[in-house]
Structures are given as structure tokens and as C-alpha cells.
Amino acid sequence: MAEIVDQEVRPKTAESYRSLVRLYIEPAIGARNLTEVTTADVRELHRFMRDAGLSASTVRLGHRVLAIALKQAHREGYTNRDVAALVKPPRPSSPTLTTLSREDAARLLQAVRGDRLESRWVAALLTGARQGELLGLELDRVADELDLSWQLQRLTWQHGCGQPCGRARGAECPDRRIVAPPDHERRHLAGGFWLTRPKTAAGTRRVPLVSPLRELVDARVAAAATEPNPYGLLWTSGAARSLGQPIDASADSRAWRQLTARAGVTGVRLHDARHFTVDLLYAAGVPEVVAMELIGHSSVAMTRRYRSGASPETLRRAMERSSGELVEPSPTR
């Protein structure tokens, strides 16, 4: 894993791979010698993960991680064949798109009005920016545009000691380090908090700051100047124990769930706000290529997948317009 994955994928991706190996691949087939792994063992991993109640997409990811290891083992001559390539990966499950209606959004805006981080939630609805992009937004990247060129992530420290240091966690190792590919750009803030570059060039973008978000952000910038803010972030924790510190993604997601409950909006994830922004852009008649750039997608096809579809009222108006084009011929005399 360290030799193959850590030098080729981003730290968060490598961490998810390690978790899949530890929790599922090793318990399912870890007792088998590498040269003894068969197609039946690959299918056993699928069954083991399904029995654990995991989604088809997660089982598919487990297959991918195992396939990476077995393919590399075959390349380096440890095995005579790549058995994972002989087994079809599980079919991905069809995603269920939860839509956030305009009425839901209005209730959220009403519920959050006057909140210390009101602008953070309005930004999620109007810009469609990812969670880490907003939580990592620095004051010096806020002007007439929001410069979304960095994102906040919590990375896991790895042991850097040449021999066991006696600490269980990598974060406690005196020689702790972050393992990442050479081209991985990052800036350390505190503890496990880092600012990292987006995965793709499309993720690096500037979103124009317009009303009503502009007024809310301006007020937040002014408030941030009066608060503890050692890292110069636009939005920071307001909790007594972590005042002025970066907002952890789990705490941010928890605050979103509390907000939706307060507003009476159920079953909507924070990421669904991103889908809502795409719907707004389509409803406003924004060209797809422009919507793609604003959202930070690498293709128009991806932006289309984020669209929830036309509302029943929109479909009705479309049918009425098209039906109006059918003109009955005048009766002949």
C-alpha cells in the first residue's frame, strides 16, 4: 500500500483505501497467500462486504482496491495472473437524488437568519461550493469574487519513525509525517487541518460575489476582524473550546442537520445544496458550460447529472406551450 498507493493518490483517498483493506479485505481473504488468491476469493470479498450491509458502490470500491494490489503483484511477477481482472466488479447502485426545493431553501434561509454563520449556509445554497472549499476560504481570497483555489481537509498523520516509537497513533509520533504524492500541494494550519489544492484544475475557480450573498459576506469579514482568527479564515468555530479554529467537517455537517431540523426540512444532505445550485442555474437559463465552470465540474455531463430534473409545473408549462403550436386547420368550404 505504502509503495503503490501513497505515492500515486491523494492522502484522503489513500486513507479510504487503507480503511477498506483493514476492515474488509484482510478479514475476508487476508489469510490467503498472495499466490493462492483465486476468483472465488474475489467474489468472497464481494459477499463479505454485502453481508456487512455496505452499498453496491462501496463493494465496488473494495473490489477496486483489491484489483490495484493484485494487478501490481502480477506486474512485478509475484503471481502468474491477475485474478481480479477475471471477475466483473459489482454493478454500481443507481443514485437516489434528493432534491432541495425552493420552498425548502426559503425555510432554511429563514431559520438561519441572524446566525453567526448565516453567510456560510447562504454561500452553500447560492454558490454550490463544496464543503471544504467554503470552510477553507481565507479572508485574503474574498473580494469581488470568492477565490476557491484551496480547500480545508483533515489529513491523517502517519508514523515517520524508523523503528517503533511506542505511540499508537501516528499523530503522536515525534517524527510524524503526511504521506502524499510529490505533486500534492498543501499548507498546514493546525493539528490535522490542512489547506490543499482541489483534485482537478476545474475545481480551482473564482465565483463572483453578488447580492444578497455579498452583503452577508461583507458583514462576516467585518466580524472576523474582531474575533480570534489565527489562520485568517472567513468562517471559524464559535465554540468556547475551539474559538477561532478551523471548523471540522463533521461539526459542520452536524450543524447543517440541526439547521434542517429547525427549518423542518428532512432528508437533505449538505451536499444536496450543491444540486440545488445547479437547479437554480438551469432555471435561470445559464448556459451549461458556464454552469459547469461555476460549480467546478470537469465536464458538462457531470453538471447534467447534478440536475434534479424539471418540476411538475415546469413540465406542465412546456406541454402547454408545445400543444399551443398545434393549430387545427381551418374548415374547408
What distance in Å separates the CA atoms of residue 218 and residue 144, rounded to the nearest whole number?
A: 10
What cell numbers appear for 135 in the block? 470552510
What distance in Å separates the CA atoms of residue 41 and residue 24, rounded to the nearest whole number?
A: 12
CATH superfamily of 102-147+202-263: Intergrase catalytic core (1.10.443.10)
Supply the pLDDT for residue 45. Answer: 96
Which H or E run includes 208?
strand 205-208
Q: Where do you find CATH 1.10.443.10 in the chain? A: 102-147+202-263
pLDDT class of 114 with cuts at 50, 70, 90:
very high
The answer to whether 209 and 145 are in contact (CB under 8 A) is yes
What distance in Å separates the CA atoms of residue 49 and residue 22, rounded to the nearest whole number?
A: 12
Q: Model pTM? A: 0.81
pLDDT class of 2 with cuts at 50, 70, 90:
low
Supply the pLDDT for residue 152. Answer: 97
Q: Where do you find CATH 1.10.150.130 in the chain? A: 1-86
For the chain, state the CA radius of gyration: 25
Among the four given CATH numbers 1.10.1270.20, 1.10.150.130, 3.40.50.300, 1.10.1450.10, the one describing domain 1-86: 1.10.150.130
What distance in Å separates the CA atoms of residue 262 and residue 112, rounded to the nearest whole number?
A: 9
- How many C-beta neighbours within 10 Å does residue 125 have? 19
The answer to whether 17 and 60 are in contact (CB under 8 A) is no
| Residue 107, C-beta contacts closer than 8 angstroms, at least 6 positions apart | 263, 264, 265
What distance in Å separates the CA atoms of residue 34 and residue 36, rounded to the nearest whole number?
A: 5
Phi, psi of 228 (to 5 degrees): -60, 130
Calculate the average pLDDT of the chain: 90
Encode pLDDT of 233-289 as tens digits.
Answer: 999 999 999 999 999 999 999 999 999 999 999 989 999 999 999 999 998 889 999
Decide if pLDDT at 4 tops 80. no
Encode pLDDT of 283-319 as tens digits.
Answer: 888 999 999 999 999 898 888 888 876 656 666 766 7
Which H or E run includes 73?
helix 56-75
